[in-house]
């Protein structure tokens, strides 16, 4: 019998019996014991909502004895406790299987856990590298650049009005016959 603990600190027992697995299949459609579809079973319980339903069926009698509704049962899981419960469920299912098949299933499960661990390590490495890139980008944003922060405060060629005599689009008085210089087209 395997156990897991929920976020409330309550211990739950998973007892792999034919009756347990039959109730799971009837209630959820997940066949924990059909070896040719073991991959499908693992895919099914990778869905956290399906996993929660399977766990409730497995622990339903205990929940009823404690006066815990299915909603309260679901609310007693976070990602870590759900992961631990899934491990307990799989380990109990493997233990239920025939002794001649059990070593192969245990080996496959250990390899799957190792692959999951390596995937997490790769993700952590990539996230650390991304964090360094983000820090560098933020540092570049906070470093003053000559083109933006070191502009001259004022220039003698720019009058107080903000326009120079060479500004485009403005008419100027001139000594021309009409007194106005027009912009060349």
Mean pLDDT along residues 59-63: 97
Band of residue 113 on the pLDDT scale cut at 50, 70, 90: confident
Q: Express each pLDDT in 14-52 by its tens digit.
A: 999 999 999 999 999 988 887 655 555 666 677 889 999
Radius of gyration of the chain (CA): 35
Please give the Cα distance from 123 to 126 (Å, whole number). Answer: 5
Give the residue extent of every domain in the chain.
2-97, 99-142
H-helix or E-strand spanning residue 120? helix 102-142
- Specify the range with the lowest mean pLDDT, choosing from 86-90, 127-131, 159-163: 159-163
pTM: 0.62
Residue 92 in contact with residue 20, Cβ under 8 Å? no
Q: Express each pLDDT in 1-12 by its tens digit.
A: 999 999 999 999
Please give the Cα distance from 10 to 81 (Å, whole number). Answer: 11
The DSSP secondary-structure symbol of 97 reads S
Hunting for tokens 């098949």 — which residue is that? 101
Name the percent of the chain lying above pLDDT 90: 37
β pairing state of 180-181 and 172-173: antiparallel
Band of residue 98 on the pLDDT scale cut at 50, 70, 90: confident
Hunting for tokens 């109990």 — which residue is that? 92
Please give the Cα distance from 90 to 14 (Å, whole number). Answer: 10
């Amino acid at each position: 019998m395997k156990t897991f603990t929920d976020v409330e600190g309550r211990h739950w027992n998973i007892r792999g019996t034919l009756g347990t697995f039959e109730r799971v299949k009837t209630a959820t459609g997940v066949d924990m014991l059909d070896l040719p579809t073991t991959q499908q079973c693992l895919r099914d319980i990778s869905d956290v909502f399906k996993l929660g339903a399977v766990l409730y069926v497995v622990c339903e009698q205990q929940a009823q004895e404690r006066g815990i509704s299915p909603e309260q049962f679901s609310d007693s899981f976070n990602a870590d406790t759900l992961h631990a419960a899934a491990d307990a469920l799989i380990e109990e299912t493997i233990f239920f299987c025939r002794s001649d098949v059990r070593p192969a299933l245990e080996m496959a499960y250990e390899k799957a856990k190792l692959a999951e661990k390596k995937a997490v390590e790769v993700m952590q490495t990539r996230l650390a590298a991304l964090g360094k890139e983000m820090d560098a980008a933020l540092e570049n944003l906070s470093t003053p650049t000559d083109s933006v922060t070191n502009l001259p405060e004022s220039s003698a060629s720019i009058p107080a009005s903000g326009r120079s005599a060479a500004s485009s689009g403005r008419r100027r008085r001139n000594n021309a016959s009409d007194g106005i210089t027009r912009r060349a087209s």
